[in-house]
Amino acid sequence: MQRLILFVLMAAAFVYFWKAFDEIPLRVMGQPTSTGLLQRDKEAPFFAGLRAATQIPFKVVYQPVDALAIKDTFQLQMLKSGEFDLVSLRFMQNAEVEPSLAGTDLIGMIPDYRVAKQVIAAYAGTIDRNLQEKFKAKLLGIWSFGPQEFFCSKPIQRLADIKGLKVRVGGPDVSPFILALGGVPAVIPFEDTKNALAIGLVDCAITSAASANAARWLEHAHYSFPLVVQFGFNGYAISQSKWDALSSKEQVILERTFAAYMSELWQFTEEIQLDAARCNTGGECKRGNRYQGKAVSVSAEDVSLTRELMMRAVFPQWAEKCEKISPGCVREWQDKLSAVVAQ
């Protein structure tokens, strides 16, 4: 009897240690906690439940980027080097090394969610190919924070009022637009922007209504100018080595799981964007922080001016940069996106 008990215990221990040995480590870099509801209520729970959802024996270690003391501008290099297995890829912050990320979201290119989804459907394959070829990483999906607009500590009524103001931008690809308006662009990390507004380092900053609300920018930036400047795309990318370590069945399961998650994120971000727009201006507020901010109506002239500056000041600089890194990229962009963004 004792031998039987000993045998059972040994067998159980063998199964336990075999399963532990069979686990697939997955180190994940997430969005900063300052992005609020999306990171807290969607992204963190998704990765916490990834093993159960896929039945793949992932051992997930998920950390928001601001908990790592690492700049999110090096996400692709860290995937390539193996420092991380999967990242919540911040497009604007990594566009310097991969310009196709910026090609999805040039200034004034996308007016609404419908066009945003069409752009991603047309161009995701290009991004995936570039990530695989240059960074040994595979794209798992793309989502949007929603329309990016101006939040200012000084009242602005039109784009011309940006002249002479210091404007926080998330990446250098936005700088030509601000310069063309006579403003002074400043590339500042998202998590540092609230303080920059508080001390007057910048007068305005660009992000979505939901992100501005979550990061409490409205404590210092009481005026919003809801011109759609960009659409705030982000994505998820996994290292090629980690992807290749999965079986073909596991790869299909993971792709389907992320596809469902992307659909959920698109819907969620649109919902919180609408709620935040009301929260920021003293309206009915279900999820965010309530402020008494002021928003002005955007004129058709300013919408037209934004599109004009995109073609005159932004696109040429992006095209030059893109051609240096990926010859032929401008023709590919035109073939895939010119008809979509001309709507």
Domain boundaries, the chain: 2-144+232-274, 148-231+287-341
Residue 6: both structure tokens together: 């000993």
* Fold classification of 2-144+232-274 (topology level): D-Maltodextrin-Binding Protein; domain 2 (3.40.190)
Q: Which DSSP helix (H) or strand (E) runs through 61?
A: strand 58-64
Per-residue pLDDT of the chain (343 residues; tens, 9 = 90+): 555 555 545 544 444 443 445 899 999 999 999 888 999 999 999 999 999 999 999 999 999 999 998 888 999 999 999 999 999 999 999 999 999 999 999 999 999 999 999 999 999 999 999 999 999 999 999 999 999 999 999 999 999 999 999 999 988 889 999 999 999 999 998 889 999 999 999 999 999 999 999 999 999 999 999 999 999 999 999 999 999 999 999 999 999 999 999 999 999 999 999 999 999 999 999 999 999 999 999 999 999 999 999 999 999 999 999 999 999 999 999 999 999 987 7
Superfamily covering domain 148-231+287-341: Bacterial extracellular solute-binding protein, family 7 (3.40.190.170)
Residues 6+ apart with CB under 8 A from 77: 97, 135
pTM: 0.88
Q: Do domains 2-144+232-274 and 148-231+287-341 have the same CATH topology?
A: yes
The whole-angstrom separation of Cα 68 and Cα 149 is 28
Burial of 153 (0-12, 13-18, 19+ CB in 10 A): middle
Is the Cβ–Cβ distance between 234 and 72 less than 8 Å? no
Is the Cβ–Cβ distance between 145 and 88 less than 8 Å? no
